[in-house]
Amino acid sequence: MTATSETALPPTLSARAARRISAIVAKEAAGTMLRLAVTGGGCSGFQYNFALDAARMEDDLVLERDGATVLIDPVSLDFLVGAEIDFTDDLIGQAFKVNNPNATASCGCGTSFSV
């Protein structure tokens, strides 16, 4: 299934992730957004990359929730169909986490995956 098919579910953004993104970009220049990209690498084949970005590309998917904005490019979107972007804050630290139903395996730290 590709992200362009009519049955594909777009990624979602949890309330926790939206709150954390809003807190992060509040300290940045106006118009700053979070970009999520999937790139090759990591111990499982692909990895999630989070970065601040002020430039929205014409073909980006834009997720918005509670004042937070996440940008996802079309290539990365194919790997993120139906995924949830979340934020965890536990004993081992704070991190954005992608709950990805397309991942068939992931590394122990959760930052890389395979399909």
**Ranges of each domain in the chain:** 12-110
Third-level CATH fold of 12-110: Hypothetical Protein Aq_1857; Chain: A; (2.60.300)
Which residue, 73, 96, 74, 85, is CA-closest to 14?
85
> Which residues touch 38 (CB under 8 Å, ≥6 apart)?
46, 47, 48, 49, 75, 76, 79, 80
The residue that leads in pLDDT, 35 or 115, is 35
- Judged against a pLDDT cut of 60, whether residue 56 lies above it is answered with yes
- Judged against a pLDDT cut of 50, whether residue 3 lies above it is answered with no
Query: What's the pLDDT at 5?
Result: 45
> Do residues 78 and 61 lie in contact, with contact meaning Cβ atoms separated by under 8 Å?
no
Q: What percent of the chain is predicted at pLDDT more than 70?
A: 82
> Do residues 87 and 97 lie in contact, with contact meaning Cβ atoms separated by under 8 Å?
yes
What φ, ψ does residue 25 adopt, rounded to 5°?
-75, -15
- Judged against a pLDDT cut of 90, whether residue 36 lies above it is answered with yes
Mean pLDDT of 40-63: 89
Give CA–CA dist 79/38, Å, rounded: 7
